[in-house]
A and B are shown apart, each in its own frame.
Chain A
Amino acid sequence: MLVYTIKRFFEMVIVFFLFLVISYLLFNAIPGNAFSSLLLNPLLPPEAYQKTIEAFGLDKPLFERVQLYIINFFKGDFGYSYTYYPRTPIDLIAERLPRTLMLFSIVNVVAFYTGFLVGKILAWRRGSKSETWITIGSVFSYTVFYPWFALMMLWFFGYKMDWFPLGKFLVPEKWYDSPYASDEIFYTLILFTTISSFLLFLVFIFTRNIESLQKRRNARLFGLIILASLATMYWTNGEAALKRFYAADIAYHMILPTFTVTLVAFAGTALLTRTTMMEVLKDDYILTARAKGLSQKRIRDRHAARTALLPVVTSFIFTIITIIDGSVLTESIFSWPGMGQLILEAVVQEDIPLAMATFSFIGILALIAHFIADISYAFLDPRIRIKAEN
Chain B
Amino acid sequence: MPDLLLEVKNLSMHYDTLDGNVDAVKDISFSVKSGESFGLVGESGCGKTSVAMTLLQLQPDNSVITEGSIKLDGKELIGLSENDLRKVRWDSISIVFQGAMNAWNPVIKIGEQIREAMREHYPENSKQENIEKIDELFKMVGLDGSISERFPHELSGGMKQRAVIALALSCDPKIIIADEPTTALDVVIQDQILNEIKKVQDLLGLSLIYISHDIAVIAEMTDKIAVMYAGSIVEMGPTKDIFENPVHSYTRALLDSTPSIRGEKRKLKSLDGEPPSLINKIDGCSFAPRCPDRETKCNPTEHMRLVEIAPDHFVDICSQGKQ
Interface residues of A (CB under 8 A from B): 209, 211-214, 283-285, 287-296, 298, 302-303, 306-307, 310, 380-383, 386
Contacts and interface: CB of A to CB of B under 8 A. Distances in A.
Contact of B58 (A209, A291, A302, A383): A291
Given A211-B115, A294-B120, A287 B105 contact: no
Contacts of A293: 85-91, 117, 120-121
Nearest to B102: A284
A289 B88 CA distance: 14
Given A284-B103, A296-B82, A383 B127 contact: no
A292 B116 contact: yes
B227 to A, nearest CB: 26
28 contacts: A211-B127, A212-B119, A285-B102, A285-B103, A288-B105, A288-B167, A291-B58, A291-B95, A292-B94, A293-B85, A293-B88, A293-B90, A293-B91, A293-B117, A294-B116, A295-B86, A295-B120, A296-B82, A303-B108, A306-B105, A307-B105, A307-B106, A307-B107, A310-B107, A380-B107, A382-B106, A382-B151, A386-B154
A380 B106 CA distance: 11
The 7 closest A-B pairs by CB, nearest first: A284-B102, A293-B89, A211-B127, A292-B117, A293-B86, A382-B151, A285-B105
Nearest to A284: B102
Contacts of B151: 382-383, 386
B99 interface: yes
Interface in B150-186: 151, 153-154, 167
B126 interface: yes
A291 B154 contact: no
Given A294-B116, A383-B151, A289 B58 contact: no
B123 interface: yes
Nearest to A380: B107
B82 to A, nearest CB: 7
Contacts of A382: 106-107, 109, 151, 153
A214 B151 CA distance: 26
B117 A287 contact: no
B32 interface: no
A386 B153 CA distance: 10
Nearest to A211: B127
B232 interface: no
B141 interface: no
A377 B192 CA distance: 38
B117 A211 contact: no
Interface of B: 56, 58, 82, 85-91, 94-95, 97, 99-100, 102-109, 115-117, 119-121, 123-127, 130, 151, 153-154, 167
Contacts of A292: 89-90, 94, 116-117, 120, 167
Nearest to A214: B123
Contacts of A294: 86, 116-117, 120
Contact of B126 (A211, A306, A307): A211
Nearest to B164: A288
Contacts of B154: 386
Contacts of B58: 287, 290-291
Q: Give the interface centre of A285, A287, A291 by most chain B CB atoms within 10 Å.
A: A291
A306 B86 CA distance: 21
Contacts of B82: 296
B97 A213 contact: no
Nearest to A286: B105
Given A291-B89, A307-B106, 4 more contacts: A211-B119, A288-B103, A292-B120, A382-B106
Nearest to B109: A382
Contacts of B108: 302-303, 306
A381 B107 contact: yes
A338 to B, nearest CB: 37
A310 B106 CA distance: 11
B97 A284 contact: yes
A288 B116 contact: no
B164 to A, nearest CB: 8
Contacts of B91: 293
A283 B152 CA distance: 15
A306 B105 CA distance: 10
B150 to A, nearest CB: 9
A291 B90 contact: yes
A295 B130 CA distance: 19
Nearest to B88: A293
Given A284-B97, A293-B86, A383 B106 contact: yes
Contacts of B109: 382
Contacts of A303: 105, 108
A292 to B, nearest CB: 4
Contacts of B120: 292-295
A362 to B, nearest CB: 33
B107 A213 contact: no
Contact of B97 (A287, A306, A381): A287
A268 B141 CA distance: 46
Contacts of B117: 292-294
Contact of A383 (B94, B95, B121, B153): B153
Contacts of A290: 58, 89
A306 B107 contact: yes
Contacts of A285: 102-106
Q: Give the interface centre of A213, A288, A382, A386 by most chain B CB atoms within 10 Å.
A: A288
A382 B105 CA distance: 11
Contacts of B87: 293
A380 B151 CA distance: 12
Contacts of B107: 306-307, 310, 380-383
